[in-house]
Amino acid sequence: MVGAGVAGAAASAVPFLDRDVACVRCSYNLRGLPANRNCPECGEPIANSIKGFMLQDASPEYRGKLKLGLSLVLNGILLLVVVMVGSIVLGYVAGSAAWPRIIANGVGFLVGCIMLLGYWKYTEPDPGYVIFEQPSSARNVVRIAVAVGAAVSLTQFVLGFFVATPGTAPASSVWAFGTMLVVLVGLVSFVAWVVQFLGVMNYTAWVGGRVPDEFVVRRAKLYRWLLPVIYVVGAIVVIGPLIALVMYWNLLDRVRKHLKSIGATGMPAELPGRLG
């Protein structure tokens, strides 16, 4: 009887979750469950879901998706630079021939798809946080912009085969209609790109706060206006867009380094300027 009484007292001492807590693996609301049990939906220990907000406390699967997304984006940026340089060289060598434009259009479309997939993976919902997320969150904004960007990229890719190459005369009304669509789609593409860029910077600041890395948080907020200025004003001397792209790449790569370090050691990377 004494043993039973001790066991009953121990059981009653186990805290029950008196607030909404999402399982870090499946998002199941654990409210009302004892903290020493497992999630009834996926079996994940509840203790893993009440550790905290930091990335090292998130599920390895979630962190892996973010790291994969960043790798796709960063490698896609490098490939995009190669494609741009290659298309310029091919255009110079081939003169007015159409095949360099067709090749550049096809390869650029594939690289764009890789990057869009990367942004989609980078903005995967965190199962341990999703029930608290607002519909207007930066992550959702980026995903909407990515979806629009994917549709625009496919449209531009198809239209590229219907519009005549520069210097040739319009063959039919299809050419005129196609040219008008190219302009319209280009405008939509620009708007989607602006929304996506701002969303990515806001989302990256949020992710940086979960490292925590105050350097990432501050730079992401600063880059929302600084990179467009460098890109536009610097375009006058040609090198501006490249500088902005390098700064953008380095910021996202810093987040990727943290994710790699957390996966390997359980702690963020010790990088210069990191605070928090």
**CA dist., res. 40 & res. 259, Å (int):** 29
- Which of 26-40, 135-149, 157-171, 197-211 shows the highest mean pLDDT? 197-211
pLDDT mean over 19-46: 91
Q: Is residue 177 pLDDT above 60, yes or no?
A: yes
- Check if the beta carbon of residue 83 is closer than 8 Å to that of residue 55: no
| Entry field: residues in the chain | 276
Given phi > 0 = left and psi -120 to 50 = alpha, else beta, which region is 32? left
CA atoms within a 13 Å half-sphere pointing along the CA-CB vector of 184: 8
Predicted confidence at residue 52, as pLDDT, reads 80
Residue range 158-167: mean pLDDT, rounded: 59
- pLDDT the model gives residue 107: 80
| 85-111 tens-digit pLDDT | 777 776 677 666 666 667 777 787 888
pLDDT digits (tens, 9 = 90+) for 241-273: 889 999 999 999 999 999 999 999 999 999 988
Q: Looking at residue 240, what is its pLDDT? A: 86
Q: How many CB atoms lie within 10 A of CB 223?
A: 21
User: Hey, which of 28-32, 181-185, 218-222 has the most confident mean pLDDT?
Assistant: 218-222
What confidence category does residue 156 fall into, taking pLDDT thresholds of 50, 70 and 90? confident
CA distance 259 to 122: 11
Given a contact cutoff of 8 angstroms between Cβ atoms, the answer to whether 111 and 85 are in contact is: no
Say if residues 24 and 62 touch (Cβ distance below 8 Å): yes
